[in-house]
A = this chain, B = another copy of it.
Amino acid sequence: MNTISTIPNLRAQINEWRRQKKTIALVPTMGNLHAGHLSLVEQAVADRVVVSIFVNPLQFGVGEDYQTYPRTFEADCEKLEKVSTHLLFTPSVTELYPAGMSSYVTVPKLSNILCGASRPDHFKGVATVVNILLNIVQPDKALFGEKDYQQLMIIKRMVADLFMPIEIIGVPIVREADGLAMSSRNQYLNAEQRAIAPCLWKTIDKMRLESGERNYTSLEKNAMQALAELGFKPDYVAVRQAQTLELPTAADKDLVILAAAWLGKARLIDNKIVSF
């Protein structure tokens, strides 16, 4: 695995691969890699797989965990060596955002709701950095985890709307044995919180939309209450149309249940895709 941290060097490598007619996949990450990230790399069907590690300041709000976000470069490299990573791109902040940088990509309709309601500008930061990484690497495809479901829908929307010639692939959540969705932020949990954490998934998994209940507001309210009783500070539980994230009509059959809840210092998110 080759590691490159500057854009000119990366472009030189990409151009060489292009000349050789290699297909290229990109897996953008913020590092601190776990089995969820590695499954993205493993499912990247391409001649060359590029992984980027960049803790993106633009997607952290004031008072959020940008400074303390876990940075584990050496362990990440070891893990990537074991899967089929050809190139690791590790740009600095000034490499991606040189002085004077002042352009942004926004998908307002999908960004101001759910997680975006409590994290203003978060998805503007996500859409912008992903747009930049896609323009630099110019991959044939890019893979993102379904755990960050709203993020995935925003990126798919951006790529479609701006006609970027890239396929965006969502990869299913990887869970711990007890059901907790893997996340770098799980390590913010103490032992007691870690024992409670899988209940986020269990609570939304129990909502069983498949069984025919269509009073989504009531299901959401019950789930929020259950989470609060378990010790979470729930941010939202929401049943939405799976692509647009709009409130579902009675006719909508492709839904997603999304949830976000604080547990101690960790803001956990999870979701369940439901089709019937």
Contact = CB atoms under 8 A, between A and B. Distances in A.
A102 B135 contact: no
A103 interface: yes
A135 B138 CA distance: 11
Contact of A110 (B102, B127, B162): B102
A161 B108 contact: no
Contact of A135 (B108, B165, B244): B165
A158 interface: yes
A131 interface: yes
A106 B163 CA distance: 17
Q: How many copies does the complex hold?
A: 2
A132 interface: yes
Contacts of A158: 103
Q: Indicate the size class of the contact surface on chain A.
A: 20 to 34
A105 interface: yes
Contacts of A73: none
A251 interface: no
Nearest to A166: B135
Among A101, A158, A161, max chain B CB count under 10 A is at A161
29 contacts: A7-B163, A11-B165, A100-B157, A100-B244, A101-B161, A102-B107, A102-B108, A102-B109, A102-B157, A102-B161, A103-B105, A103-B107, A103-B157, A103-B158, A103-B162, A104-B105, A104-B108, A105-B106, A105-B162, A106-B106, A128-B162, A131-B162, A132-B162, A132-B163, A135-B162, A135-B164, A135-B165, A136-B163, A138-B165
Given A128-B162, A135-B163, 20 more contacts: A11-B165, A100-B157, A102-B109, A102-B161, A103-B105, A103-B127, A103-B157, A103-B158, A104-B106, A104-B107, A104-B108, A105-B105, A105-B106, A105-B162, A131-B162, A132-B162, A132-B163, A135-B165, A136-B163, A138-B165
